[in-house]
Structure 1
Amino acid sequence: MIRNKSLGKRLLAAGIMLIFSMSGCGTDNEIELTGNGIGSDGIEAAATVDSAEVTAAGETALDVAGGDAASTGTAEDTNKTAPTPAPTPRQELTTADRMTDRTKVKGIYVTGPKAGSTGMEDLIGLVDETELNAMVIDVKNDEGNVTFRLTNEEITQNIPVLDQISEMQAGVRYIRDIQALMQELKDHNIYTIARIVCFKDPILAAARPELALTKPDGKPVTDANGLAWVNPYRQEVWEYLTELAEMAADLGFDEIQYDYVRFPVGSDANVADYGVDMDAYPKRQAIQDFLAYAGDRLHEKGCVVTADVFGTIIGSETDVQTVGQDYMALGQTVDAISPMVYPSHYANGVFGLKVPDANPYETVLAAMQGSVEELQEIPEAERAVVRPWLQAFTATWVPGHISYNGTQIREQIQAVYDAGYEEWILWNATNRYSAEGLLGADEVEDNENNQ
């Protein structure tokens, strides 16, 4: 495994702040956030957020990052300027160093229940028989559940976070023997990626109310499905997410993928009190700092860090302001970045397409060309690998949608290649995948030679 000495935090200056309007139409430069709730961190319906309680005793991420706003302050009662990050030494290994010899991912998403069922054998067989070579497996899911139960008595090394998982009753035995599963996947040469949902976590919010986002009446802020969010500024949340990732690395996962690594959306979320001066320490900086914080620790274990982001943040400053995901900045922070470029997630008319969902090749190609343009100024050695999520489901709710089968999947994959990228992951929330649209294992080498 590749080892790396401690990285300095890569703190990047915040960009120009624009006024956000959720009702704006999507264009090539300013794409509307859609609300269908599908996909790896698909946007849910607008939740209401009025305030975020922060205890005086608790630390915020701003304290860790060196900012000077009080942990209990608000934009109204503080008058501070944004902290200027101190120069940090360059990391010993570049992103290119860490990623060069790793698998060029062609993967599928797998839920905890599927990973622990007999159906997992079918998915392993599909990987064996096709060009697929990787699985993104839920370690902590959208409900805050850790998808297996494990105790320190069952393993040779001590993993402190296991005690916290047990205390919160967060563990669910979807996967009955995680160690046996990891060994089986290694035996089949399957590259393993641990998906960890970040700031949407109803279990952590209930167990640690001081970390939850709450309304003025004291009730937790929830999404359309009733799932609570925790505060992305809080160091305690960062630490929990980092320790979960370290556990996954210790169990043998090759890579950590953080999902829902963003702020909640909704009309009230824009005015919520997160306990910091958000002019001094904007959302985008907090997200970058968390990923750098986790990356420092995980690189020590030879594990790389990736992040799922909205495809709509590419070329849209308004979306960046809303969710805190800055595509260019994150392209210099993580080892790989996975924009969700599902055609169904783009509003009709975006990219000049009447119905993007009905034009999978054109939509993905335009999105990926936007990615190339936005990241081109980053030196190649420091630039994250781009590995988009692709649509492997039919979006029946989209007016003018088409059915997605092997043809549409292959068109999206080809668009990724035509944009100059080499990796991709397929998303289907129910894990219904087939070989249709995928190359056979014996065809892979010939196809790579022809790209």
Structure 2
Amino acid sequence: MPTVTKAIYVNFAAGRSADRMNRLSSLVQRTELNSLVIDVRSDGGALLLDRDEATRARLGALREAGIYLIARLVAFKGGPRGWYDPGSEERWREIAEISLRAFEVGFDEVNYDYVRYGAAREPRSRTPVEERAPTIRAFFEFLRAEVGDAASRPISADLFGITLLGPQDGVGQRLEDAVELFDYVMPMPYPSHWGPGSFGLANPAHHPYETVHAPLSAGWRRVVDLPGRIALLRSWVQAFDLDSSRPMRRYEYTPWHIREQIRAIEDAGCAGYAAWNARSEYEESAFLPGGQPGGQPDPG
């Protein structure tokens, strides 16, 4: 396991493609990257490839190449109604079974996304708001016992970036709960997701260092001295084109924008990063060791 994780996200289609996995593996070998976060099925069907034997073989080759492998498992988004009930212990058991299977076929870590109730423009829950954070914490405790401790393997959880600034009871996410029960907490402080005026910036997406460093530093200060903390922070990085304008519009995120976020993550004391691009398409120059490719674009 690397001391500092430097990862890129691999979507399910890319993970099933030998050609794309070869290209992404080669990208890791040529850059500072050392890890892959790979989608696995979370609601039935093959975990990755059609047979576990084929999945083991592919993952085994990646591990032999020195690549740390993280299985990304979507917890509550999906299902027949678009969103699983976060309080469903049946769903909890399904997630635990998938997690243990992921370790068995060769993953080094399991990462959980959508560990929350639905947010704006997502399916609503009838669960009272005051019960949501305790329910999500109970789920975290279940994962700690039934997956992390049972397998003696690391587990991590994705949280909204806004949780770095304070609890989000509407979706049930509290940074304080997560850092006590996961080995790594992976917030998503994407610059484009902060509205105009956040952190005193007219357009946060144009200032990737400041927009990522401010919430990560604030969040870490809140939890670093908690007696029950076991987690380190490992941040997601915006590697997709989106602006902070409202309504949102496309704004090119160059290697410079990515390097600035990585610099902010390092300065905030995080234990690494994972770059997110939904298409799993990345520019090599963004991940060159010690690189600072190109100049700063016009902030606009």
TM-score tier, shorter chain, comes to: 0.7 to 0.9
> Which of 211, 225, 248 is the equivalent residue of 2:102?
248
Q: 1:314 aligns with which of 164, 167, 173?
A: 164
Distance 1:124 1:412 in 2: 23
1:374 corresponds in structure 2 to 222
- Larger RCO (alpha carbons 8 Å, 6+ apart): 1
Flag the structure with larger Rg: 1
Q: Secondary structure at the match of 1:390?
A: strand
AA aligned opposite 1:254: D
The residue aligned with 1:9 is none
From the superposition, tell whether residues 115 and 103 of structure 1 become closer, same or farther in structure 2 (CA, over 3 Å): farther
SS at match of 1:382: coil
Q: Partner residue of 2:297?
A: none
C-alpha distance in 2 between matches for 1:104 and 1:341 = 19
CA contact (8 A) 2:165 2:215 kept: no
Paired residues of 2:2 and 2:68 also in contact (CA < 8 A): no
AA aligned to 1:135 is L
Residues 266 and 344 of structure 1, relative CA distance in 2, 3 Å threshold: closer
- The amino acid of 1:200's aligned partner reads K
1:231 maps to what in 2?
85
Aligned to 1:305: 155
Shift of 1:103: 4.0
Q: Distance in 1 between matches of 2:47 and 2:2?
A: 26
Matched letter for residue 265 of structure 2? V
Is 2:73 the partner of 1:196?
Answer: yes
Query: Hey, what does 1:110 align to over in structure 2?
Result: 10
CA-CA distance at 1:187 after TM superposition: 1.4
The 5 Å alignment of 1:81-92 reads: none
Distance in 2, Cα, partners of 1:421 & 1:247: 29
What percent of counterpart residues are identical?
32
Question: Counterparts of 1:289-300 in structure 2 under 5 Å?
Answer: 289-298=138-147, 299-300=149-150
- Name 1:403's counterpart in structure 2: 252
After TM superposition, list the pairs within 5 Å mapping 1:89-168 onto structure 2. 102-117=2-17, 118-140=19-41, 146-148=46-48
Shift of the alpha carbon at 1:377? 2.8
Counterpart of 2:233?
Answer: 386
Q: Which amino acid aligns with 2:235?
A: P
**Corresponding residue for residue 325 of structure 1:** 173
Secondary structure of 1:368's match? helix
- Report the secondary structure of 2:37's partner residue: strand
Please give the residue correspondences for 1:278-293 in structure 2 after superposition, counting only pairs within 5 Å. 279=130, 282-293=131-142
Q: Which has the higher helix share?
A: 2
Amino acid at match of 1:328: E
Aligned partner of 1:194: which letter? A
Where 2:286 maps in the other structure, the secondary structure is: coil
The 3-state SS of whatever aligns with 1:189 is coil
Q: Deviations over 1:152-207 (max 9, x none)?
A: xx76xxxxxxxxxxxxxxxxxxxxx21121111111110000000011122xx3xx
**Is the counterpart of residue 359 in structure 1 residue 236 in structure 2?**
no
User: Runs of 5+ in structure 1 lacking a partner?
Assistant: 1-100, 156-176, 206-219, 221-227, 445-451
Give the letter aligned to residue 390 of structure 1: V
Aligned to 1:417: 266
The Cα of 1:386 is off from its aligned counterpart by 0.3
Deviations 1:300-351 (A, max 9, x none): 222111000100122234xx11110101121111110000011001111111
Check 1:372–1:268 CA distance in 2 against 1; reply closer, same or farther (3 A cut). closer
Q: Which amino acid aligns with 1:178?
A: T
Q: Is the 8 A contact 1:337 1:384 kept in 2?
A: yes
Q: Tell me the matched-pair count.
A: 287
**What residue in structure 2 maps to residue 82 of structure 1?**
none
Root-mean-square deviation (CA, aligned residues, Å) is 2.4
Residues 149 and 426 of structure 1: CA distance in aligned 2, closer, same or farther (over 3 Å): closer
Amino acid of the residue matched to residue 242 of structure 2? A
Match in the other structure for 2:279: 430
TM-score, with structure 1 as normaliser: 0.59
Distance 1:354 1:193 in 2: 36
Partner of 1:345: 193
Q: 1:48 aligns to what?
A: none
Give the TM-score, by structure 2 length: 0.88
